Structure 1
């Protein structure tokens, strides 16, 4: 393969730096949320009031992906990336200035709109620069940069807030950092222009093959805003419907039914428009590809499994292991460390043993880790801290392994002119899986925990040792009920991850059943 101009590779790593900034901001909120709520006069004992802050960001995240992904396919990656950074900066400004909860929610929605687009745009830029069969490692590096933000973000947020004396400083700092990223991208694009002796190719078209495949690029440069909006808004409404606004009371939003109906209607309208357009937003050939659908399905499963780990590990630490908030977070970090490491290894392995076996191995590894975690006892951290740490790390490692091969499977199948939209669909599948996993976990937890409490007769415990002894016996009973619930959840998720591994083996190794309308990069087993 001929080496790509250094300027284009520099653009990719600068784009990854912007992605890291957005990931830092996303996870910094984990530690900043109590301070943010206090500043807008929301009591700490009403943390359910923070739900709009979280769902607003997530909804913006989902809406932005198909919109800016399609925009980047038509107008170029860097213009779309610049728009995303500017929207993210505007959201950061509103969040930093927010006088009340409404301002916080508005700012976080805009941050989600901008930050959410940076993930697929960075993946698409990597796919533009590196050809099929050689892009798995760059995709793994981009994914590792994003996942590293999940590890550093909480500490970054807490450290900056302490250093500057205010949580608002974290969001103000996004402005100069975002400006530096944009300035660097502009300089790199100018350098690429000079190296090539003429106008730089449109970012969306840089890796388009010569000949017939080049015709797969958008001919008119027009964006199908209607289709992208229907898809993004429909999925965002589903996210709102499935995200529990009060997890202690119900597994989904209190307005789940109307939100689901509205979301499904918008998605039906998208399908109707997709079927009647000569140039639909998503190529029909992709939807008929087993590798494409299998990759999205495996991503959905990986997202659901990861969300269970992200939610259950801290709750298990507090409710069963009796750790405080800080040490519960540190326990989760052991899992989070595995994500960027796995993303890097998955990118490297995917180019050597193939996407199918790399993705399947990652999901199988996560399944094995969940299986081992289902055997944890009340005194696990005291009696077997090292094995517990290893199991958490392996769980994160497994979920990291799947990112690059599953992304490459979709991007290698997609036309060169649809890398932006294709990468958006990859990230959307993972995000929707996380939301579905959260809703399912909440529903199961609410019902199963109460049933276990009844079966164990925790509410009728008596003791001859007095009130204190009776209280201790009740706490032990509840702790045992929690542990049993989480053991069952981990076993279910282990089975789900094994199903995802089988799906990867069955679909990612197969060639397309029929050729696409235009020649595309061949999928590697």
Structure 2
């Protein structure tokens, strides 16, 4: 590169050249000042204007560069709110029996709790495109504040719920608010860190969310025991959510002060802080109709595919009308997309192989993860004869790998590139499922490769893919569509989980019945009496369950390998990203 040259051809220091370039950009905050050709007076307080003054200006400039209008602080505060929502989501796993008892739903009718789960999931899906698009038009923090307030309102209704209807309503609102926090936090990270340097921050945000899945069940049980009621868990969301909002408000005021905004001292000049601190390009208008059609259409598909009675059928009892209604809404969304000059989703994204490949790989990762989340506890109870507590502890071994994998995936994506990181994660998950397909009845006591390691590797693999697949989409999306793009990333993963659950239930029900017939479990006879006959029947059913889940794990292993190939084929060859520095965005 050639050296920067001053107005009269004299060489100029690169740092001052960059500073001058920022000053000369329109809208940089103050008019450009011409540099004298060679006089002793320098407006930057250079060596001839006083070394102390010059050093002071450099220190102030470095502080601004390292803290681009406080937005990195806003990101970590947003991640704290995301962690709170994740805690709440997974706390319900241990609180659900108490919640059902409080609203007089028998514990032996757990299918009655399905609306609590599907309501949260539907709200989760609906909120993403709505608040993602809203944040693109009006700003991340206003949208984030709306999401936290809706989440707090849902927490209040859940804590006060006198019956099942109140619980469902509260959980729907919690899903609406909590679901939006995931894409908004990812979009905020993409706003602050430039393309090519955002994989690590995205990995950190994802790790924070996944850590909630590990801590959440214990968090819920501990608080319920300490306060004597499950309702305390939801009441506690209110002050914690308020603290997050107050922190974001203070960070935003501080960022205005740094840039010479409304809170700055009189006469203070705005400091140039780089690309991340400049205003995002925003349309100012929200296409509510398109976002609503997309969100509601996908939510109806979720309702249709989520089994309301997994023991009897793989999908909802109203699956057909729900599917028809959902597909009609999505068709209306597609028709509106084609007719608008500025569609909700940019056509360039839909034509991008990397965009579609990333969403496809996310779909597969979500399906595979759901199989593990559902099958491991069932296998633990039905085959390994563990109680509910120890079944949950077995699952924690898998969940612990998710945040670790998310962090490593963010770091690794900056070293070897997104394509190979995502492919490696899915291949690792495939290998773990392959090992799990060889489990025996006494696997937990086996001296071979322990189940703990295999479960951890499975979670690690699924965690590895989160940051690179998110970065692949966000790097393609225009800066003004980061909110919607991150929503699509999370939606693909969520839909994959629902499709995986429905497919697993359908396959499991049919295969289990077939295996029972093939093994003649229903015609076992024994000369040792009724007790011996009952034990023989239990052993036969246990063997049938084990065979069923071995087959399921093999199918998922093949599916994960397909996802790895999809990532290799579509994400494209990309140079390894430079590691994200704390103030990388400000230098962009």
Report the Cα offset of residue 163 of structure 1. Answer: 0.2
Matched, 1:257 2:317: no
Seen in structure 2, the aligned counterparts of structure 1 residues 310 and 323 have a Cα distance that, compared at 3 Å, is same
Conserved? CA contact 1:243–1:253, under 8 Å: yes
Conserved? CA contact 1:205–1:416, under 8 Å: no
Choose which of 147, 170, 192 in structure 2 pairs with 1:107. Answer: 170
Seen in structure 2, the aligned counterparts of structure 1 residues 158 and 4 have a Cα distance that, compared at 3 Å, is same
Conserved? CA contact 1:305–1:437, under 8 Å: yes
Report the Cα offset of residue 465 of structure 1. Answer: 1.2
Write out per-residue CA displacement over residues 76-131 of structure 1, whole angstroms, 9 at most, x where no aligned residue. 00000000000000000000000000000000000000000000000000000000
Write out per-residue CA displacement over residues 26-81 of structure 1, whole angstroms, 9 at most, x where no aligned residue. 00000000000000000000000000000000000000000000000000000000
- TM-score between the two structures when normalised by the length of structure 2: 0.84
Seen in structure 2, the aligned counterparts of structure 1 residues 405 and 513 have a Cα distance that, compared at 3 Å, is closer
Structure-1 separation of matches of 2:103 and 2:308: 19
Conserved? CA contact 1:73–1:420, under 8 Å: yes
Conserved? CA contact 2:207–2:402, under 8 Å: yes
Seen in structure 2, the aligned counterparts of structure 1 residues 514 and 283 have a Cα distance that, compared at 3 Å, is farther
Conserved? CA contact 2:192–2:585, under 8 Å: no
Matched, 1:407 2:470: yes
- TM-score between the two structures when normalised by the length of structure 1: 0.94
Matched, 1:237 2:300: yes
Structure-1 separation of matches of 2:159 and 2:226: 16
Structure-2 separation of matches of 1:209 and 1:279: 32
Seen in structure 2, the aligned counterparts of structure 1 residues 239 and 268 have a Cα distance that, compared at 3 Å, is same
Seen in structure 2, the aligned counterparts of structure 1 residues 201 and 38 have a Cα distance that, compared at 3 Å, is farther
Seen in structure 2, the aligned counterparts of structure 1 residues 22 and 52 have a Cα distance that, compared at 3 Å, is same
Conserved? CA contact 2:261–2:270, under 8 Å: no
Conserved? CA contact 2:305–2:502, under 8 Å: yes
- 1:178 maps to 241
Structure-1 separation of matches of 2:339 and 2:582: 23
- 1:56 maps to 119
Seen in structure 2, the aligned counterparts of structure 1 residues 186 and 46 have a Cα distance that, compared at 3 Å, is same
Conserved? CA contact 1:410–1:422, under 8 Å: yes
Conserved? CA contact 2:358–2:473, under 8 Å: yes
Conserved? CA contact 2:197–2:579, under 8 Å: no
- 2:27 maps to none
State how many pairs are aligned. Answer: 525
Conserved? CA contact 1:205–1:417, under 8 Å: no
Report the Cα offset of residue 504 of structure 1. Answer: 0.2
Seen in structure 2, the aligned counterparts of structure 1 residues 199 and 239 have a Cα distance that, compared at 3 Å, is farther
Conserved? CA contact 2:68–2:583, under 8 Å: no
Seen in structure 2, the aligned counterparts of structure 1 residues 220 and 358 have a Cα distance that, compared at 3 Å, is closer
Report the Cα offset of residue 210 of structure 1. Answer: 13
Matched, 1:98 2:161: yes
Structure-2 separation of matches of 1:402 and 1:452: 35
- 2:532 maps to 469
Moved more, 112-121 or 202-211: 202-211
Report the Cα offset of residue 364 of structure 1. Answer: 0.1
SS at match of 2:304: helix
SS at match of 2:468: helix
Larger Rg: 2
Structure-1 separation of matches of 2:476 and 2:177: 26
Write out per-residue CA displacement over residues 315-370 of structure 1, whole angstroms, 9 at most, x where no aligned residue. 00000000000000000000000000000000000011000000000000000000
Conserved? CA contact 1:31–1:158, under 8 Å: yes
Write out per-residue CA displacement over residues 479-520 of structure 1, whole angstroms, 9 at most, x where no aligned residue. 000000000000000000000000000000158999999999
Seen in structure 2, the aligned counterparts of structure 1 residues 135 and 200 have a Cα distance that, compared at 3 Å, is farther
Choose which of 563, 569, 573 in structure 2 pairs with 1:510. Answer: 573
Conserved? CA contact 2:415–2:578, under 8 Å: no
Write out per-residue CA displacement over residues 173-206 of structure 1, whole angstroms, 9 at most, x where no aligned residue. 0000000000000001111111111269999999
Moved more, 92-101 or 4-13: 4-13
Structure-2 separation of matches of 1:311 and 1:201: 54
RMSD: 4.6
Report the Cα offset of residue 466 of structure 1. Answer: 1.2
Structure-1 separation of matches of 2:548 and 2:390: 22
Conserved? CA contact 2:371–2:501, under 8 Å: yes
Q: Gapped runs of 5+ residues in structure 2?
A: 1-63
Seen in structure 2, the aligned counterparts of structure 1 residues 196 and 212 have a Cα distance that, compared at 3 Å, is closer
Structure-1 separation of matches of 2:296 and 2:522: 45
Seen in structure 2, the aligned counterparts of structure 1 residues 257 and 107 have a Cα distance that, compared at 3 Å, is same
Seen in structure 2, the aligned counterparts of structure 1 residues 385 and 88 have a Cα distance that, compared at 3 Å, is farther
Seen in structure 2, the aligned counterparts of structure 1 residues 203 and 411 have a Cα distance that, compared at 3 Å, is farther
SS at match of 1:204: coil
- 1:46 maps to 109
Moved more, 179-188 or 196-205: 196-205
Conserved? CA contact 1:285–1:517, under 8 Å: no
Seen in structure 2, the aligned counterparts of structure 1 residues 183 and 339 have a Cα distance that, compared at 3 Å, is same
Seen in structure 2, the aligned counterparts of structure 1 residues 353 and 38 have a Cα distance that, compared at 3 Å, is same
Moved more, 75-84 or 509-518: 509-518
Report the Cα offset of residue 387 of structure 1. Answer: 1.6
Conserved? CA contact 2:314–2:505, under 8 Å: yes
Conserved? CA contact 2:82–2:178, under 8 Å: yes
Structure-2 separation of matches of 1:436 and 1:205: 56
Conserved? CA contact 1:128–1:203, under 8 Å: no
Report the Cα offset of residue 384 of structure 1. Answer: 3.6
Seen in structure 2, the aligned counterparts of structure 1 residues 389 and 172 have a Cα distance that, compared at 3 Å, is same
Conserved? CA contact 1:291–1:512, under 8 Å: no
SS at match of 1:205: coil
Seen in structure 2, the aligned counterparts of structure 1 residues 113 and 7 have a Cα distance that, compared at 3 Å, is same
Report the Cα offset of residue 239 of structure 1. Answer: 0.2
Seen in structure 2, the aligned counterparts of structure 1 residues 469 and 383 have a Cα distance that, compared at 3 Å, is same
Write out per-residue CA displacement over residues 199-247 of structure 1, whole angstroms, 9 at most, x where no aligned residue. 6999999999999999996654000000000000000000000000000
Write out per-residue CA displacement over residues 404-424 of structure 1, whole angstroms, 9 at most, x where no aligned residue. 000000000000000000000
Structure-2 separation of matches of 1:144 and 1:203: 42
Conserved? CA contact 2:122–2:172, under 8 Å: yes
Report the Cα offset of residue 7 of structure 1. Answer: 1.3
SS at match of 1:386: coil
